[in-house]
Structure formats: structure tokens, C-alpha cells
Amino acid sequence: MSQTGPLKSGDPAHGHQAKIGRTHKDSQPWWPPTPGRRGPNIVFVLLDDLGFSDFGCYGGEIHTPHIDALAGAGLRYTQYTTVPMCTPARAALMTGKNPHSVGCGWLTHALPGYPGYQAGAISPDAPTLAEMLRSAGYGTYGVGKWHNTPDYQATSGADKSSWPLQKGFDRFYGFLGAETNFFSPGHLINGNEFVDADTYPADYYSTDDWTARSMRFLRGHVTNDAERPFFLYLAHNAPHVPLQARPEEVARYDGVYDAGWDAVREARFERQKRAGLVPDDWRLGDRSPGIPAWDDVPPEQRPLMARYMQIYAAMVEGIDRSIGEISAELKRLGVWENTLFVLTSDNGASSIGGPGGSANIFEKRVTQKENPALAREMLESGTLGGMNSYPAYPVAWAQTSNTPFRFYKRTPMNGGIRVPFIVHWPAGIADGGSLRQQWVHATDLLPTVLDLLKMDYPLQHQGFKTRGLDGVSFAASLTQGNHPSQRDRQYYELEGHRGYRLGPWKAVSLQPPAQPIDLDRWMLFNLDEDPTECKDLAAARPDKLAELLAAFEADAARFNVYPLDNRDNRRVLAVPDPMRRLANSPRDFWPGTETYSPMLVSPLVGDRDYRLSCEFDWQPGQSGVLFAIGDSFNGLSAQVREGQLQVVYRASPTHTHAAQVALQPGPQTLELLHKAMGNREGRAKVLVGGAEVGEIDTTPTFLRIAGEGMDVGRDRKRKVIPGLTPGDPHAYPGQIRRVRIEPGPQAPGSIVNRLESEVQLD
């Protein structure tokens, strides 16, 4: 039946205002108005675990000419504070909200069942800066480290609502987790997909990769529409552990740190005073507890201690090279003048290396033990800082990085929260090279951008009421050096450590990990008189302490800070209660996929009994890897070579245990019957066709699989089995039907795979 009545114009629900007739001649088109350019381009570069004094322009001896030039034409803030750990700091920066209020009170490893601690996933009622800028017409690009996706969602088939593209980015390239190997990342994400890479180029280094990808995104954006503004969020994982850098770059710092941490720290402090970064009457705080004087370090240990800092310095210089390349690209594209460029760190330098540093911090985290022989061997062989090392520098160098402050990342002392903050904007800053003394906090970046763009914060987001911002704009300070600070108070909390600043007064409570929390243990500092927090006034000013504690309690209730949680790494090794079934059920792994996530494999094999079976066919002449779990630091693999089936357990980078047997042509079934006996001791019987053919030692047993997960039919990237060339996945050419892991009981007394709700301190 033909239509004879008048036609209606476009659906008003979609806002279309075209007049539609029966023919083109009788119709009147309409297009929504093209938005004009709104505000500057924005480049936000976030570094990872970098201290207040590491840049040359903040007093450091590390070679950072491009960063120094950025500061020389921009502004250096000297009272910027952040949140003392990765995930919460990123949430605060991205949302303008205190991290507990958006579910990011701790890392992505744990889901304890409380609103302030949602495994690092930003709550849906808190729009990110990327989401708001995209709604304003910006192109939005993320590169590097994300670390706001729960570990159990960092898999190809998981809910992706917390992944970057779902949080406002048009394009993303990087990784989701806390850290990765700089020469061989365990996984890479491009958009919403894992990058299915067997190998990396021989000269690969992630800092350079992030830089190149950022420039690629910028070129594509400007070529498409040079008038449309963009937002680039470049989140370097440097200089977070593992400390890794190219040998030739490390060698440039030969001799620089031979005088030791005390001398380097004092020299940085003197440069800071000469530059006006700190007043002449400031006191350089004493060494933090547990840090030896350099003169007390045995002479035979000093070359190793100095080499750790050389690697760190080379990583920071690599960041500077990245800043130089990004800056040059912005100039080449003609957008430099009206680009707001912000450079800072997520928190202060990290103390995780402990008094003597570590050559393999991954293992040390869970065992609390260091292998001095491994460190010496890697130093002598020149492999420390390379792909197959996983170093962290000694805590004394962390204190040096945080000069003039005391303590480190994880704490609300100034060493954990005072970091560099550089703002560069040729079109918006008239007094380049100046210092700014205003107190600015991590939550203040987003409201400042909204202020500059004359944008209102949304009242609703994804169907939720947004509850407003916690940060305040510091936009006026960009052009007015004497403009008053807009912030006068802020709470801090991480792992039971608490802090509250109100004007010049600051209360701090430090809680030893894995010990009962003392709610009444507090220190009090007057930052006007004692900015390096050396003189505790708690006993002298109980009235002022009581005022700050009352303010902390009010904010703790308002922002979902409680319950305090200072449990040790047992909660990292635990299983979130909702994941119980998946962590204790058999799972099949198939060939022809990307690397399976460590989060899928770890619970099935972590310090427990399990049966692993691999069904495959073999004919003479066929060789290759059947499966590989883990990597060159700790892994389990099976391969066929020259008619021999070889099963290898790699206990550490220098120790392997193997069993092998000759194969007969035809269908094969390999079985590993693993027994975890307690104290991380383990054995695995090797069966082929149901007959026992050998046994391998699996001591120490798996706890949590490191950076790489599981491959079926190949071994990508860093190899479990020695002898494979670095760039060869050694794919198996025959048929592999599947690999199946059937988990059994945990080892007696095991701390792994307990339900998170059951993990309590002894």
C-alpha cells in the first residue's frame, strides 16, 4: 500500500531537523552545527615510581635536557602531592575524585568485598577525563600502562567494561597490569584486543614503543582534522621495576654513583637550594629507618649497589628521550603552541628492593628472600638490567630519588607523595621558567582542565548520579604566580597508612605490614617549620592532632576508606570469592589462540596438586613446543626435539629440572601428576601413554605465574626451555588436541589460592 499523506521530518528523538519531501528537490537538508575548537590540545605524561629529585630541573644529576627545557619554558610546581601507589593515583588523576570514593583504594589484585576496594576498577558513576573530553569533541588516545582493570578481567574473554576504550579512549595501545618486562612485555593491548605477537624485535624497548605509538596516533589525528583538539595520555611504566635498560645506556653512568647514596643525596639537596626549589633553611632529613650509611656498606658490595642506580638513571634518561621526541613531533605537526603539556609521576620512588636491592624482585616479593649469588653473577656477566633479570634498587637509592624528603611510595610521608609536576603551555603561560608554590593535589588536574575549557562536570554518568568532584581547579595559578592555593586539606590512606593535611599541619600514621593496626599511632608535623617531616609534635600539640584526626574520620566515612587493610602478599595470592569456582575447576586450553593470561593459569597450578594432560600426535621429524607456562624466570614446558619428549621445570633463571623420553610414532598423551608437599616443595611424575617415564622436581612450586601466561603449541617471547633462540616461538607442526589442567588440593599450609575473605593475619 502506497503512502499518500504528508511525510514527517526526521525523528525528533534524534534531534534531526531536516525537512523531508518525496524528492530531493522538495526536501531541505540539515546538519548539526560543527563544534568550534574548544581549548588547547592536552598531553598528559605520567611516570611510574619517580622521585622528587630525579630530573635535572629538580636537582638530579641524571641527564634530562628535554625535560629541563620543558620546565624552562613552563612551570615547576614544588608542592604537588599525589596518592602513594599506582592504581589509586591513576584513578584520582583520571576522575578528579578521591580513589576510595571510586572503588580504587588499592591495587587490581584484590576484591575484598568493600565499596572502596573494587580491584582498581573505576566506578561507573565517575566519568574519566577521557570520557568528558571525548564528549567535548576531543580525540582521545591512551598509551602505555593502564592499571585500572581488575586482574581477573585482564583476559581476552572477560568483561571489558574497565578497559581503556570503555573508559573514554578512542584508541589505546599498551598493557593493563602493574608492570612488565621492558624488553619483552608479557602482553600488549591494541584497542580491545590482545596483540598476538610471537616475538619482539631485537632492539625492542617499551619506552620507545610507547613513544612511537603516541606519535603515530598524533599524526593520524592531525592529518584527519588539524582543527580538532586531542588528548594524549602517555603513561610510561618507567622507572618502575623491573629496572631494565640497554647496556650502552647504563654504561653512560659508569662511576657516577660510586660515591654512594649519601653523597649523591647531599649533592641533590644543594642543587635544589641553589635553584630555589627548597629554601635555604630547609633541613635534609636523616636517613630513614633501616638505611645504612654508604661508609658502612662492605666495599665488595658497593659496585652492585652503584650498578642498580645506574640502571635506574638510564631508564629516566630514556624517559627524557621520549619527551624530546614527543615535543619535536608536536612542533612538526604545528600544534606545539596551543598544547597543554603536563608531566608528573604517580607516586614517589619505591622501597621494594629492600636494604640490598634485588636481582629478581618478583620472587623476593613472595618469598621475602634475596639470592645474593644471583645478583653477583648477573653483575659480573653484565646481564643485570637485561631481559632476563628483574631488578629493584636498594631502598637507600629510593630515599635519594625522593630528596629532600623521607620515606617512599606506599606511605603518606612526603617521600611517597611529593613528586615533580611540570606544566608547559606556550599559549597560556607567560612567565615560563617560573616556580609555583601553590599546593596542588592529584585530584585537581581534571577540574583544572574543565575550568580551562569552561565545561561543567556532569550531574549523571551511565545512569548514575556522579556525586560531584573532590578536586579543585588550579587554573588561576597558571597565569598568576601569587594566586592563593585553592586547596587547604586532603586525606591519604594506603595499606593502613593514614595521613591528613590541614593547612601547614599534617598527621601521619605508619603501620607495619601484616601486624595488628594501631589506630592510635600518629605523628604530627608542621610543614611550614619542618617540611621534611623530621620533628614529631604529636606529644606537644595534642589539640592540633585531635583536630586533624577528627577531620580524617569524617573524610574516611565520606569517601569509603574503611576498613583499613594492611595484610601482606597473601591477599595478592588469594582468590576473590566470586572467582572460587573458576579457580578450582578443570580448564581446557586450546592451540591457535593468543597467549592465555597468567590470571587463568595461576590458580590452577599455584602451590597445589594438579593433573596436566596434553593430547597430541607425533611423527618422526616433527619437533616443537607442546605447551609453555610462565617464562624464563619461572616456568613449565614440554617440547619434542629429535624424537625425544622433554619436560622442563624452570625454578629460577639459573636452575632447571628436566625429564625426557623417546617417543613412538602416533597419538600421544602426556600427563604430569603434580604433588605439592608443603614449604613450596613439589614433585611431578611424568607419564606417557599411561606409563611413568620420569619425575621432575618443582621446588619451589609456582605461586603466581609471572608476566607471561600459557602458550599451546609454541613458546612466545621469553622461553621456558633453554636452547630456543630468542626470536623463535618453535611452533609444533603436528596436531595438538588440547591441554587440560585439573586442579587438586593445596599444599599443606599453603598461602596460595585461599579465598580472599579467609585471608587473615596470624
Catalytic residues: 86, 147
Contact status, residue 632 vs residue 389, Cβ threshold 8 Å: no
* CA distances in angstroms from 151 to 108, 147, 158, 159, 753, listed in the order given: 6, 9, 10, 11, 14
Cell numbers describing residue 15: 534531534
Rounded distance between C-alpha atoms, residue 700 and residue 680, angstroms: 5
- Find, among 555, 494, 502, 545, the residue nearest to 523 by Cα: 545
Contact status, residue 176 vs residue 188, Cβ threshold 8 Å: no
Cβ neighbors of 203 (< 8 A, separation 6 or more) are none
Strand-pairing partners, residue 127, are none
Contact status, residue 420 vs residue 343, Cβ threshold 8 Å: yes
Contact status, residue 235 vs residue 145, Cβ threshold 8 Å: yes
* Four-CA torsion 358, 362, 367, 370, nearest 10 degrees: -20
Could you give the 3-state DSSP secondary structure of residue 27?
coil
Contact status, residue 755 vs residue 580, Cβ threshold 8 Å: yes
Contact status, residue 358 vs residue 391, Cβ threshold 8 Å: yes
Cell numbers describing residue 262: 649519601
- Find, among 252, 249, 250, 245, the residue nearest to 206 by Cα: 245
| Strands 41-47, 339-345: pairing kind | parallel
- Find, among 539, 540, 605, 623, the residue nearest to 741 by Cα: 605
What does 267-294 look like in DSSP terms, one character per residue? HHHHHHHHTTSS-TT--PPPPPTTPPPG
Strand-pairing partners, residue 638, are 627, 647
Cβ neighbors of 282 (< 8 A, separation 6 or more) are 273, 404, 531, 532
What does 88-132 look like in DSSP terms, one character per residue? HHHHHHHHSS-GGGGTBSS-TT---SBTTBSTTPPPTTS--HHHH
Q: Which residue do the cell numbers 653483575 mark?
A: 379
Greatest CA separation found in the chain?
A: 98
User: What is the spatial order of strands in the sheet that 655-662 belongs to?
Assistant: 655-662, 644-652, 635-641, 624-630, 710-712
Rounded distance between C-alpha atoms, residue 569 and residue 566, angstroms: 10
Quick count: other Cβ atoms within 10 Å of Cβ 414? Answer: 26
Could you give the 3-state DSSP secondary structure of residue 470?
coil
**The residue count for the chain:** 762
Rounded distance between C-alpha atoms, residue 347 and residue 89, angstroms: 7
The pair phi, psi for residue 527, each rounded to 5°, is -70, -25
Distance between first and last Cα of the chain: 80
Quick count: other Cβ atoms within 10 Å of Cβ 461? Answer: 18
| Strands 587-589, 736-746: pairing kind | antiparallel
* CA distances in angstroms from 177 to 204, 497, 606, 702, listed in the order given: 19, 23, 19, 20
Rounded distance between C-alpha atoms, residue 1 and residue 649, angstroms: 75
| Strands 139-145, 230-235: pairing kind | parallel
